[in-house]
Amino acid sequence: MRTTEQLPHAGSGRRSTPACVRPDGDDAIPDDLRDALFIALPRRDQHRNAMAYLRGLLGTPGRKTARNMAAALGGNGVQQSLHHFVSGSTWDWSLMRRALAHHVTRVTAPSAWVVRPMTIPKFGDRSAGVHRYYSSDHGRVLNAQLAIGIWAASARSSVPLNWRLHLPESQITDCVANACRELESDWELPSLPVVVNAPDLDTAGIVSRLHAEGMRCVGRITEGVRLTVADPRLTGLHAGTATAGAIIRAAREWRRPVVRVDQERGRPHASCAVSSVSVGVPGDVALPGRELRLVGVWQDGQRDPAELWLTGPGPRHATAVPNLSRSARRVDHDLTKIAEPVGVRDYSGRSHDGWHRHVTLASAAHAAVVIPGAARRPIELAS
């Protein structure tokens, strides 16, 4: 299911070659962002290496490997310094993420945390977390790492703040729940709705788990997800299981209009229609005696819904879905147009900690591009 709504400045088509941001020295990193990041770096040599790495992420054409960035930055010994800074150093990437998260939320005032998985294709099996995963980004099963990103998002911008690298022996629901919990419990960030934009994963199980832990959550699902029908109005389907598509089509006549709000200007943006029914997750014990709601969102008088979402019990959760879903599309857009060009998928090493340091610095480079007031440079996309 696709939506025809376009995000501001969204590009058309996929880029055929890697893109880059071209900064002019250190002015590509705003002073307040640089100062926030340096909280996690106790030594001056680490400050220099961090700035060099960020300049490399922002200014290197093609893949952001240590070799390519060293070639773009120039100077003898640069490649070894960059490689050691992420793969062999001891600085605490979790402290840098926390500092970045506090800076981003203070400056951008996000409206939601968006969970967005990202597959990173890999040759061989020696890198941390490599497994066989289906990727809707690539349309096939890949030998890849699966990274779970938690983004601070609004209608205007989004920035990745927290990451988990899924390890095959662990549960993905645990991976997502721990990453979300860290933002609000450990980092003491604002309590915001969680938008799970992960149709390749067990979104129903994730939404159920997050609601059981007291988080406000909505999750996008596909038509084929099977759910338990709990709404007594659906007499033909009640007390059985059916696909989400069949359930919401049976509730089509209960649609009602909802006005979406332009979060940047604080005024009505467009209208759509939603219908919601009570459902459960088959075999799920996370919410005993409670149901979720399946929400269909219709646009432009379409017969079938453009999107299907799961959310918490109660009609007010359903009416919030159209505005929250825009945050998910914002992240999809920014992942392709900003995070990928600054190298979020490009770590070429094998270590778990090295990957985390690289993706943290790539998140900081992403923030340097999108935060208002930053000395930004345009992203040059290949035609």
DSSP string, 167-197: -TTS-HHHHHHHHHHIIIIIS------EEE-
pLDDT of residue 50: 94
CA distance 310 to 203: 8
Tell me the average pLDDT across 25-40. 81
Is the separation of the CB atoms in 260 and 268 below 8 Å? yes
Instruction: Tell me the mean pLDDT in the region 159-179.
Output: 91
Beta strands at 267-280 and 292-298: parallel, antiparallel or unpaired: antiparallel
Read off the pLDDT of each residue in 344-365 and give the average, rounded to a whole number: 93
Contact (Cβ atoms closer than 8 angstroms) between residue 260 and residue 281: no
Q: Kindly tell me if the per-residue pLDDT of 379 is higher than 80.
A: no
The pLDDT of residue 351: 87
Q: Is 232 exposed, middle or buried (0-12, 13-18, 19+ CB in 10 A)?
A: exposed
**Given this model, what pLDDT does residue 99 score?**
96
Helix (H) or strand (E) holding 360: helix 352-370
Residue 81 banded pLDDT, cuts 50, 70, 90: very high
Q: Which amino acid is at 13?
A: G
Average pLDDT in the 293-299 region?
91
SS3 call for 90? coil
CA distance 209 to 218: 12
| Region 128-152 average pLDDT | 86
Q: What is the pLDDT of residue 378?
A: 44
For the ranges 3-12, 268-277, 363-372, the maximum mean pLDDT occurs at 363-372
Which sequence spans correspond to the domains of the chain?
Answer: 20-94+349-378, 109-337
Task: Report the distance separating Cα 336 and Cα 339, nearest Å.
Answer: 6
263 vs 327: CA distance, rounded Å: 10
Q: What's the pLDDT score for residue 380?
A: 45
pTM: 0.86
Is 359 or 322 the better-scoring residue by pLDDT?
Answer: 359
Torsion, Cα 93 327 181 217, to 10 degrees, reads -160
Compute the average pLDDT of residues 178-194.
Answer: 94
> pLDDT band at residue 257, thresholds of 50, 70 and 90?
confident
Does the pLDDT of residue 12 top 60, yes or no? no
pLDDT of residue 342: 96
At residue 376, does pLDDT exceed 70?
A: no
Over the Cα atoms of the chain, what is R_g? 21
107: which 2 tokens?
Answer: 């400056």
Worst-scoring range by mean pLDDT, 263-277, 293-307, 356-370? 263-277
Q: What is the pLDDT of residues 224-235, one digit of tens each?
A: 999 988 888 887
Confidence of residue 313 (pLDDT cuts 50, 70, 90): confident
Report phi then psi at 269, rounded to 5. -110, -50
For 23-134, where are the alpha helices, taking DSSP H only?
Answer: 31-38, 44-59, 66-73, 78-87, 93-108
What is the model's pLDDT at position 121?
85
- CATH number for 109-337 (one of 3.40.50, 3.30.565, 3.10.450, 3.90.350): it is 3.90.350
What is the number of other CB atoms lying within 10 angstroms of the CB of residue 257?
Answer: 9
Average pLDDT of the chain is 83
**Cβ atoms of residues 214 and 193 within 8 Å:** no
> What pLDDT score does 238 carry?
64
* pLDDT score recorded for residue 23: 43
pLDDT at 70: 92
Q: Which residues contact 287 (CB under 8 A, 6 or more apart)?
A: 208, 211, 212, 280, 281
pLDDT band at 134 (very low <50, low <70, confident <90, very high): confident
Farthest CA pair distance, the chain: 74
Q: Tell me, what's the pLDDT at 372?
A: 61
Strand partners, 296: 275, 308
Q: Is the pLDDT at 26 greater than 70, yes or no?
A: no
- Complete DSSP assignment for 285-315: -SSTT--EEEEEEE-TT-SS-SEEEEE-SSH
- At 299 the pLDDT is 83
